[in-house]
Chain A
Amino acid sequence: MTSLAQSPLAGVGRLVRAVAPSTPLIVFLAMFAYLGMASSNFLEPSTMALVLKQSVPTVVVCLGLATVVMAGGDDVVVGGIDLSVPATAVLAAAIIADLVSNHAMFIGYALLIGVAAGVVCGLVNAFLVVFFGMTPLLATFASSTAFIGISKVVTASRRINVGDPLIVWLRDGSIFGVPAGVICACLIAAVFYFVLHRTRWGLNLQAVGGSRDAAEMSGLSAARFIAQSFVIAGLVGGVASAFVLARGSGWTPGTEENLMMEMVLATFLGAAFSPRRIVTLWGAVLGAVLVSALSVGFGSVGIDIFWTGCIKGSLILIVVASAALSRKVNA
């Protein structure tokens, strides 16, 4: 057959198709290679331990976002996304900090109330998305702003120190030399892995995200699973509050911004590492650790904080663009 009509575009398309899903991976490896060379101690075990420790709150909120994405599909605009997990965590943290430090409540009760508040936040999102049919991106962006507003009302927008032994243990404690926060995050991640990847409910939730039609055809109610995913994300936000409090030794306004950026970056970056090229729990966890490693690495090398923000923003773009591109070329 003649190849006269062979378009040069076809070749580019094939190249894009082959490379696009791996672009974030390549960019990350390049960055790590650079950081490893530029900073003498970046690859040392003590630095890696620090990376793990700092990644804990991000890892936990990523579990929530990953659940919503898995149930809603990974189309950033119309699929599942929950930007409000960090805001939920910060609101729950505000409530816990206020109860423990200003009202001398027992930490166990305060944590329960905080987690319950997180679940309520999740219910609000589920209601907005499933009942009102709002786009998840917009609904959770709006609810996120509202949750932060409530947290400022609760705290009068002032820092609250929390010195409760449990929170201090989460921050400084360790079991057999492994930081307590890291162990707790691993346990939570393991529970989520089992529920989402190893149970019928989890597989059905993923089916809804993979193809709403296919799930409906199999007798699964897409609306039910999507609503449940938001409630789970709210629960995760409530649980993450403990780690947010531990990390900051209390509640500080503005914590959600950095957390949200890292969460989005980590979760979608994780998709690049998954063999199926989709958002998965392990991908999100790994992504969170890598993002934390980048923050530590940039700090070690002494890169200007404004550049760090710029680089992370560009990374989000690369990750999301490569996801969009690989979807486009595979269509």
Chain B
Amino acid sequence: MTEPTGHILQMSGITKIFPGVVALDNANLAVREGHIHGLVGENGAGKSTIIKVLAGVYGRDAGEVVIDGAAMAAMTPAHVHAAGIRFIHQELHLVPHFTVAESVFMGQELQGWFGIKSRAMAEAAETFLKETLNAEIRGTTLIRDLGVAQRKLVQIARALIDNKARIVVFDEPTAPLASREIDQLFEAIARLKARGISMVYVSHYLGEITSICDQVTVFRNGRDVGVIEAIGPQDTGRMINMMVGRDISDLYPAKAHAPAAALLRVEALGDHKHFDNIDLEIRRGEIVGVAGLIGSGREELVDTIYGLRQPAAGRMLIDGKPVRLASPAAAVKQGIVLVPRDRRQDGLVLGMTVADNVNLASLEDVSRAYLINRPAAAKRADALAAKLDIRPRNVDTVARLLSGGNQQKVVLARWLATGSRLFILDEPTVGVDIGAKVEIYRLIERLAGDGAAVIVSSSDPNELIGLCDRIVVMLRGSIVANVDTATTSLDALIALTTGGELHEGAVA
């Protein structure tokens, strides 16, 4: 094979405007023939938008797409497909009760006079999987009997079976995979590269990017902020700097609380699926952050501590006593509360008033003989609304009409009303404006100051560093680090979360 030099794909000056939002602002992406090109950036940086423009799913407001030297005028999914571009989406999109062969040949089945040629398809699928992806999968196996990694390979085979693919775009291909399964995928990708297929590799896992990509384009705020050639592990720090591009502001309150005795201990907790062997200790008056990408087991761990999911192994102790939480109700009895990530769906009854929402979990306190004492309930809601500065102050307002930040405060107020001792906050500031964020941070700080233990599960590394005393970092179902925020830099945290390695001494 000759040394590939030319660009097979050039997207230049791409602009995409959604009502009120500029998703892509004069963004560029250029992929060399035969290379694996990484695409990284924080959530909302524009990675998935530019991929969807390439796929023909979104039209573009400005810019040019050149494939193999030819400008693409019309870009429909069919045109893109005809140009030899294939997409391996994050979701598998396979029919569970179809066979491997039926899945690989979906839409281009082999048919003869006597109908579908099942055997020929099975053989062709097996051969293709073996030769191109180095996978031993029988063509007659049902998809639902395959592991996730094998399904991923079937998905790739489906994209490539017509042998016309020139560029393959991988969108977070390893997200659902366990570490040992990733090697199998990487081996398949290496084989594709050897066949001269160019690839775009989108991932949050910087470790993967540095190990398999040839170049990387970094996106931030809807545009490309830099291209790193000949990428290697030594570039992780540079990549993170380009991705983040800002300092931690003074959003965060001073940490005035003093951690005391342990409240919750988690020992060897696992569900054999999303996380395993988790050890954790949280003290009264302490704010502990949990960091981890989607798929790291972070959300599942938090749900398990709250009783929403059941562990398969390990145990939990509160004040040194083992507890088993069969349901969120059992957790609430133990003084554990969860402020859920999707408060609109899980946290608030949107049609009810603020007062009713505040008192929802502690009606027995303001009731006599099952009848709600309305004046008492309203009085308490008033007091809490004042304490948390919920606006509008009128507790008879319907919850739906409140802003995101104020809704979050109502959910917090409800649990303050119950006198809980362990607060689990899952993505507490998603969809909340900057002013409300500051207030919520102060509230969380006050909870800890009053002696409660707080777990903050968040995908925002700034928030974790600014708010927490300690951060446990999860990666692929395990805790890979337990760091003190006083001695951890933002870059170091991102590196830990994404499985990358920092080589330039960024760990302070």
Contacts and interface: CB of A to CB of B under 8 A. Distances in A.
A199 B116 contact: yes
B269 interface: yes
Q: Residue among A6, A197, A214, A218 with the most chain B CB within 10 A?
A: A214
Interface stretch (B88-96, B167-175, B221-229): B88-96
A25 B71 CA distance: 60
Interface string B82-118: 0000010101011111100011001111010011100
Interface stretch (A204-212, A241-249, A258-266): A204-212
Given A198-B116, A217-B89, A9 B94 contact: no
A207 B106 contact: yes
A203 B116 contact: yes
B480 interface: no
Interface string A1-21: 111111101100000000000
Which of B78, B98, B106, B324 gathers the greatest number of chain A CB atoms within 10 Å?
B106
A220 B98 contact: no
B315 A5 contact: yes
B313 interface: yes
Contact of A210 (B98, B108, B270): B98
Given A5-B311, A199-B111, A206-B98, A215 B106 contact: yes
A10 B111 CA distance: 45
Contacts of A7: 310-311, 324, 326
Given A1-B313, A5-B316, A198-B115, A211 B94 contact: yes
Nearest to B94: A214
B116 A200 contact: yes
A215 B102 CA distance: 12
Nearest to A195: B115
B268 to A, nearest CB: 6
A247 B316 CA distance: 67
A114 B61 CA distance: 53
Contacts, number: 93
B106 A1 contact: no
A2 B142 contact: no
Contacts of B310: 5, 7, 9-10
Contacts of B316: 5
Contact of B95 (A2, A202, A207): A207
B81 interface: yes
Interface in A150-199: 194, 197-199
Interface string B312-334: 11111000001010100000000
Contacts of B93: 211, 213-214, 217
B98 A207 contact: yes
B297 to A, nearest CB: 16
Interface string B115-145: 1100000000000000000000000001000
A4 B322 contact: yes
A277 interface: yes
Contact of A276 (B106, B142, B270): B142
A45 interface: no
Interface in B212-255: none
A214 B355 CA distance: 46
A278 interface: yes
A9 B107 CA distance: 42
A276 B93 CA distance: 18
Contacts of B313: 1-3, 5-6
A54 B268 CA distance: 62
Contacts of A133: none
Contacts of B269: 5
Sorted from nearest, which 9 A-B pairs have the closest CB atoms?
Answer: A210-B95, A198-B115, A218-B107, A7-B310, A276-B97, A214-B93, A1-B313, A218-B106, A200-B109
Given A194-B115, A200-B109, 11 more contacts: A1-B268, A5-B313, A7-B324, A7-B326, A197-B115, A206-B98, A210-B95, A211-B93, A213-B91, A218-B107, A276-B142
Interface of B: 77-78, 81, 87, 89, 91, 93-98, 102-103, 106-109, 111, 114-116, 142, 158, 268-270, 310-316, 322, 324, 326
6 contacts: A1-B314, A4-B322, A5-B316, A6-B312, A9-B326, A278-B97
